[in-house]
Amino acid sequence: MNFGDKYSAGLTYDEFLARYANPSEKQRWDDFHQQVTLTDEQKTLLNSFTRDMQVLVMAGAWCGDCVNQCPIFDHFARQNERIQVRYFDRDDNLDLGDALQTCGAARVPAVVFLAEDGAFCGRAGDRTLSKYRQMVSSLAGAACSTGVPDDLTAAIVQDWLDEFERIQWMLRTSGRLRTKHGD
């Protein structure tokens, strides 16, 4: 699949919710959006991004994991206009669901990172390491030393910021893009 071509058909955060979320789902997304905060250090890091990055997100308005992660991406995009996120409903984009299967299924959220010209850079999802640690801890019991943080939301925000930062530095150090931009 050409993710760059697909990206251009995506919806903004607000467009996605307006089209796919019922009032109850929209409220859940809004409630979590209000809970997400970025530290001053995180804002400074996001503001240091100098390369445009296209971020394709396959999601479902009904999905609890999406509710608890996609608003984080919106905060990142609002912090720096170089982060351009587009959303796709999993059920309306079966081709994307097939291309982004995780563990044999179309799980969401699935995130694809692209360069400004649509070149593939990486993908992530459906949950972050901190979330999986929390889940394993509940399966394995208190003796499991997975390092579950006290503030899971803050840890998930940081996990995602680490992914966005990794891609930004990939874009910033790309020989192809450095030549294009003369830096």
DSSP helix/strand/coil, 123: strand
Question: Mean pLDDT for the chain?
Answer: 94
Q: What is the mean pLDDT of residues 5-17?
A: 98
pLDDT for 84 equals 98
Q: What is the mean pLDDT of residues 48-66?
A: 97
Taking residue 76's Cβ as centre, other Cβ atoms within 10 Å add up to 23
- Using the predicted structure, report yes or no on whether residue 140 has a pLDDT greater than 80: no
Contact 72, 157 (CB under 8 A): yes
Map out the domains of the chain with their CATH numbers.
3-181 (3.40.30.10)
Question: pLDDT tens for residues 143-175?
Answer: 444 454 669 999 999 999 999 999 999 999 999
Q: What is the mean pLDDT of residues 34-52?
A: 97
Reported pTM: 0.93
Q: What is the mean pLDDT of residues 28-39?
A: 97
Q: What is the mean pLDDT of residues 102-120?
A: 96
DSSP helix/strand/coil, 136: helix
pLDDT band at 133 (very low <50, low <70, confident <90, very high): confident
pLDDT for 109 equals 97
Question: Please, what is the end-to-end C-alpha distance for the chain in angstroms?
Answer: 31
